[in-house]
Amino acid sequence: MVPLLALEFWGVRGCCRAFRGGEGLEGVGEPLAAEAPGVAPEGAESAPVAAEAAEPEPPPPPPPVWQGMVPPTPQKNLLHPDAPGVLQPTASGRLESAKFGSVRTANVGGKLVPRFHEGVDIAPTERDRKREPLDGVFAVADGRVAFVNGKPGNSEYGRYVVVEHADPSLGVVTNARGNCSTGTVYTLYAHLAEVRFGIREGREVKAGEELARMGHSAASGIPVDRSHLHWEVGLMLNPRYAGYTRANKITNVMGAYNGLNLFGIDPLDFYAAHARNPELAFAEYLETVKPAFEVLARRGHFPDFFAAFPSLWVGPRGNGEPFWLAFSESGMPLKGRLATAEEASALGNQRQKVWRADREVLGRNGRALVTQRKGKWELTDKGIRHLDLLFY
Ligand SMILES: [Zn+2]
């Protein structure tokens, strides 16, 4: 896989240079495949040089961002999460409740409903005499600090830090000025006791660099005995979330880094997949995440999400609608494309429709974006709001 990824990155760089040269100022995110046709035929290592003979010698491609991935705390046993003391369950004491997915239950108006847990809760390895954890919290890979919330009362995450990691596998994004960047993966570290001096927005961090100390901060409070790191890995749904919340009169002091705008994958599964293949790119990993439901939708414009992550879009973007979109159990968009003629006619003049859902993948369906009524799957109000945000 190394040569292939390296060549893909060459393709990205070539594209960037072309844009800096003043060509194609078409705004964000043309699909990578369309920008670098034939630049990197598989296995033909000399091809990029030949194709760009007039260009100055480019620097060697950097290693994949996840290559140097480290655990986010001194806990070294993340490949064996069921071993004693690795994860921190909720008050229920069920180990499952510390893991990712529909693993929790909430009491809503006297009714017990499944609830989704977006990350994994890692237990401390060391405490002081007052039971306060002493564990450091580390950036798991090279990246840039994107957000720091220093006021624990403002969020159920308490004090938290978000780091962004550029991953060329998610495609290249070019803005109107011709500057280009790649799609970014976020990692989030929550319930912190204190954020280390100098860890602020914009700061570049290295894999293993200490961001904070583990704690138990949260708006509603977590007892010291259940101190843990809540760790997430995922993608941002909409960078204009702050505008969306203003327009919908939703209180939001976290801007785009509000947890309601961040959609995760199972961090322990990603960590294990990376341990098996250190070259793993995020888009490759997403190929292994099973879609939980597929939606057909029309909203009059192309969703920005796929402009930010162009490699998740399949085929031409066109000017057309409607769209076919596949979502993970957590609600993360995994793939999108234009709807086929059959799908478009099934949608008719509706704004959205569940095309397919996988009961097994949905399991306890804690996210509750879709539901089955009289044998037919449909979007819940929450699911429709999710689409509205995706298209905002
Ligand atoms: Zn958690």
68 CA to middle of ligand 1, Å? 24
pLDDT averaged over every residue in the chain: 86
- Say if residues 304 and 239 touch (Cβ distance below 8 Å): yes
Q: How confident is the model at residue 38 (pLDDT cuts 50, 70, 90)?
A: very low
Question: Which position has the token pair 């993970």?
Answer: 328
334 CA to middle of ligand 1, Å? 23
Sheet with 323-327: strands ordered across = 333-338, 323-327, 293-297, 352-357
> Same domain for 235 and 373?
no
300 CA to middle of ligand 1, Å? 37
> Same domain for 262 and 384?
no
- Say if residues 32 and 169 touch (Cβ distance below 8 Å): no
The answer as to whether 112 is a domain residue is yes
SS3 assignment, position 299: coil
> Same domain for 189 and 314?
no
What is the CATH number for 260?
A: 2.70.70.10
What Å distances lie between residue 63 and 9, 115, 252, CA to CA?
Answer: 10, 38, 37
118 CA to middle of ligand 1, Å? 7
Average pLDDT over residues 250-275: 94
The answer as to whether 338 is a domain residue is yes
pLDDT at 181: 84
137 CA to middle of ligand 1, Å? 15
Range of the domain at 213: 95-276
Per cent of the chain over pLDDT 70 is 84
228 CA to middle of ligand 1, Å? 8
> Same domain for 124 and 265?
yes
pLDDT at 215: 98
> Same domain for 296 and 265?
no
139 CA to middle of ligand 1, Å? 17
Give the domain-ending residue among 230, 250, 276. 276
In this predicted model, what pLDDT tens digit does every residue of 180-222 receive, in sequence order? 888 999 999 999 999 999 999 999 999 999 999 999 999 998 9
> Same domain for 145 and 174?
yes
272 CA to middle of ligand 1, Å? 19
pLDDT at 318: 80
Q: Is 325 exposed, middle or buried (0-12, 13-18, 19+ CB in 10 A)?
A: buried
Distance (Å, whole) CA 66 – CA 292? 26
Question: Which residues, including other chains, have CB under 8 Å from residue 271's CB and lie 6 or more apart?
Answer: 69, 71, 78, 79
The answer as to whether 73 is a domain residue is no
Task: Answer whether residue 4 shows pLDDT above 70.
Answer: no
> Same domain for 150 and 236?
yes
209 CA to middle of ligand 1, Å? 22
If you count them, how many residues does the chain have? Answer: 392
Question: Which position has the token pair 């409607």?
Answer: 322
Distance (Å, whole) CA 368 – CA 387? 13
Distance (Å, whole) CA 248 – CA 216? 31
- Residue 233's DSSP bridge partners are 187, 265
> Same domain for 256 and 381?
no
What Å distances lie between residue 136 and 191, 207, 229, 372, CA to CA?
Answer: 12, 13, 10, 44
In this predicted model, what pLDDT tens digit does every residue of 355-391 receive, in sequence order? 999 999 999 999 999 999 999 999 999 999 999 999 9
Going by C-alpha positions, the residue among 172, 196, 233, 229 that lies closest to residue 29 is 172
In this predicted model, what pLDDT tens digit does every residue of 84-142 receive, in sequence order? 999 999 999 999 999 999 999 988 889 889 999 999 999 999 999 999 999 999 999 99
Question: Which residues, including other chains, have CB under 8 Å from residue 126's CB and lie 6 or more apart?
Answer: 74, 133, 134, 135
Give the domain-ending residue among 250, 276, 302. 276
